Amino acid sequence: MGIATHAKYFAPPAIDAAGRRNLIGLSQDELLEAITALGLEKFRAKQLWSWIYFHGVTDFENMTTLAKPVREKLAAHFMLERPTVTQDQKSEDGTRKWLLKMVDGQEIEAVHIPEIDRGALCVSSQVGCTLTCRFCHTGTQRLVRNLEASEIVMQVMLARDKLKEWPSTKDDRLLSNIVLMGMGEPLFNYENVAKAAKIIMNGDGIAISKRKITLSTSGVVPMIERCGNELDINLAVSLHAVTDELRDQIVPINRMYPIKELLKACREYPGISNARRVTFEYVMLKDVNDSPVDAKHLVKLLRGIPAKINLIPFNPWPGAPFECSDWKTIQKFGDIVNEAGYASPVRMPRGRDIMAACGQLKSQSIRLSSAERAAIDKIIAEKELSQGLEISRA
Ligand code: SAH
Ligand code: SF4
């Protein structure tokens, strides 16, 4: 069986009906280019960056250090639109899930997981996922496209809006960390993820440091080193099985990049040390990968790699072909891992009641009406025409 590695659809251009371009998601150089093309002075780019990403302003009118004619000119050509929130759900444990509609009608989910004085935002990198890990709801979504850098950055900006955490200087932020663990495989959309990460990390704007950003991959081995070299962010790897035989079945990308190659890439991850470990995620599936023998094999496998282990109780979804391991089994597995020197290995599920926990995300965008579907096809066809692209659509 072949493994689809590329999303088939493209995002539509971020231009509204009036021809205004969304500035969110432009790199510093692109922003400079965009405003000098309008005949504005270069230093305006720095001011704009600060208004957009440090203050979180959504209306040019509120950019008080800019003269009125400059604001008017900007507003005539650009916008700072956020995605439309189509659902805003709060779990009993405080976890919040936003269903966000992109300009082409596609939907993605972003999840905020609060702690006492901090919190993580779980960000999506694709609409759906081309991979089909057997235990993951996202992997059952048919329509898949990469998110643009702007669509990734906008999830963070939207969360900051909702949590009222502008400007970026605010202490004790509820949005202190970012985990690229939402919908999609981030290393199959590396260019956009990298561009977004650079914007999010920029100290003059959103300013979330690289130490507080974690990218989770199912194991796209050839991209791991590049991610470490260029972004220097934390790495998490979805291991979930200790033999190729089982991993081939439940994490199909293993057929391309088996465990040995994956662990080699982890061992060589740039910047890895005992102070900065790779996190190995391991979903607890009843009678599949949860025996004491598996636990012992796991710690043996990771020997020599500065690692953290996260045991994730399987989060069920309608029609899922697995059950979560019993609590006793998870504890026993956890004890073995713990005795091998890994502290607090079990990750307690958050937001299960609103289907916001790991692997439960699946947007409703596959349920498109035929009119919506036709509209998307039209946008894609136009894009194909304008770029001379040939896009296969299964
Ligand atoms: N595609 C990336 C990131 C998104 S998934 C990856 O696979 O790593 C984030 C994490 O949730 C991964 O470790 C994934 O394996 C895990 N996961 C997926 N489905 C799950 C489920 N139903 N229960 C628990 N964890 C799950
Ligand atoms: Fe995709 Fe990750 Fe889900 Fe696998 S676990 S299908 S890679 S989102």
Tokens of 36: 């000098």
Q: Position of tokens 């607090």? A: 344
Q: Are 178 and 261 within one domain? A: yes
Q: Which ligand is nearest to the CA of 355?
A: 1
Residue 351 has pLDDT above 90, yes or no: no
Q: Are 150 and 258 within one domain? A: yes
**Please, what is the average pLDDT of the chain?**
89
- pLDDT given for residue 392 in this prediction: 31
Residue 387 has pLDDT above 50, yes or no: no
Q: Are 264 and 328 within one domain? A: yes
Q: Position of tokens 């939402």? A: 182
Q: What amino acid occupies position 206?
A: I
Residue 394 has pLDDT above 50, yes or no: no
What's the whole-number mean pLDDT along residues 240-264? 98
Q: Are 298 and 317 within one domain? A: yes
Q: Ligand 1 centre from 17 Cα, in Å?
A: 37
Q: Position of tokens 């465990």? A: 259
Residue 390 has pLDDT above 50, yes or no: no
Report yes or no on 286 lying in a domain.
yes
Q: Are 326 and 199 within one domain? A: yes
Report yes or no on 12 lying in a domain.
no
Assign 365 a pLDDT band (cuts: 50, 70, 90): low
- pLDDT given for residue 371 in this prediction: 57
Tokens of 338: 């713990």
pLDDT in tens, 273-300: 999 999 999 999 999 999 999 999 999 9
Q: How many residues does the structure list for the chain? A: 394
pLDDT in tens, 47-94: 999 999 999 999 999 999 999 999 999 999 999 989 999 999 999 999
Q: What amino acid occupies position 113?
A: I
- pLDDT given for residue 5 in this prediction: 77
pLDDT in tens, 180-238: 999 999 999 999 999 999 999 999 999 999 999 999 999 999 999 999 999 999 999 99
Query: For the residues of 251-282, what is the DSSP string, one character each?
Result: SGGGGTS-HHHHHHHHHT-TT-BTTBPEEEEE
Q: Ligand 2 centre from 249 Cα, in Å?
A: 13
Q: Are 67 and 94 within one domain? A: no
Give the closest residue (by CA) to ligand 1 atom 19: 359
The domain tally of the chain equals 2
What's the whole-number mean pLDDT along residues 245-257? 97
Last residue of a domain, one of 50, 79, 108: 79
Percent share of the chain, pLDDT over 90:
75
Q: Are 181 and 324 within one domain? A: yes
Q: Are 173 and 311 within one domain? A: yes
Q: Ligand 2 within 6 A of 239 CB?
A: no
Give pTM, 2 decimals: 0.91
Report yes or no on 3 lying in a domain.
no
CB-CB neighbours of 342 under 10 Å: 20
pLDDT in tens, 138-165: 888 877 899 999 999 999 999 999 999 9
The answer to whether the peptide bond before residue 186 is cis (omega within 30 degrees of 0) is no
- pLDDT given for residue 374 in this prediction: 59
Assign 360 a pLDDT band (cuts: 50, 70, 90): confident
Query: Ligand 2, residues 108, 125, 238: which to mutate, most atoms within 8 A of Cβ?
Result: 238
Report yes or no on 5 lying in a domain.
no
Q: Give CA–CA dist 342/335, Å, rounded.
A: 9
Q: Ligand 2 centre from 320 Cα, in Å?
A: 14
Residues 6+ apart with CB under 8 A from 382: none
Q: What is the CATH number of the domain that holds 329?
A: 3.20.20.70
Q: Are 234 and 304 within one domain? A: yes
Closest residue by Cα to residue 372 from 14, 13, 106, 98: 106
Q: What is the CATH number of the domain that holds 60?
A: 1.10.150.530
Q: Ligand 1 within 6 A of 136 CB?
A: yes
- pLDDT given for residue 175 in this prediction: 95
Q: Ligand 2 centre from 394 Cα, in Å?
A: 20
Which atom of ligand 1 lies closest to the CA of 316? 22
Q: Are 208 and 337 within one domain? A: yes
- pLDDT given for residue 376 in this prediction: 47
Report yes or no on 10 lying in a domain.
no
Q: Are 322 and 371 within one domain? A: yes
Tokens of 152: 């990734």
User: b vs e for 129-144, b when ≥16 Cβ sit within 10 Å of the residue's Cβ?
Assistant: bbbbbbbbbbbbbebb
Tokens of 150: 């702007």
Q: Give CA–CA dist 88/75, Å, rounded.
A: 29
Q: How far is CA 326 from CA 242, 261, 284, 287, in A?
A: 20, 31, 9, 9
Q: How far is CA 19 from CA 76, 119, 286, in A?
A: 9, 37, 53
Q: Give CA–CA dist 107/26, Å, rounded.
A: 21
Q: Between 172 and 268, whose confidence is greater?
A: 268
Q: How far is CA 322 from CA 137, 284, 285, 316, 325, in A?
A: 12, 10, 6, 8, 9
Residue 272 has pLDDT above 80, yes or no: yes
Q: Ligand 1 within 6 A of 238 CB?
A: yes
pLDDT in tens, 107-137: 999 999 998 889 999 999 999 999 999 999 9
Closest residue by Cα to residue 138 from 161, 111, 156, 115: 111
Report yes or no on 8 lying in a domain.
no
- Give the side-chain half-sphere CA count within 13 A for 296: 3
Which atom of ligand 1 lies closest to the CA of 240? 15
Q: What amino acid occupies position 32?
A: L
**Residues designated catalytic:** 109, 358
Give the end-to-end CA distance of the chain in Å, rounded to a whole number.
15
Q: Give CA–CA dist 7/133, Å, rounded.
A: 16
Domain that residue 24 falls in: 17-79
Residues 6+ apart with CB under 8 A from 119: 112, 113, 173, 174, 175, 176, 177
Report yes or no on 9 lying in a domain.
no
Q: Are 66 and 88 within one domain? A: no
Report yes or no on 261 lying in a domain.
yes
pLDDT in tens, 21-54: 999 999 999 999 999 999 999 999 999 999 999 9
Last residue of a domain, one of 44, 79, 114: 79
Q: Ligand 1 within 6 A of 324 CB?
A: no
Q: Which ligand is nearest to the CA of 135?
A: 1
Q: How far is CA 260 from CA 4, 61, 113, 243, 264, in A?
A: 22, 56, 33, 10, 6
Query: What SS3 state is found at 27?
Result: coil
Last residue of a domain, one of 34, 51, 79: 79
Helices marked H in the chain — which ranges? Answer: 28-37, 43-49, 68-77, 149-163, 190-201, 221-231, 244-250, 259-267, 292-301, 327-339, 370-387
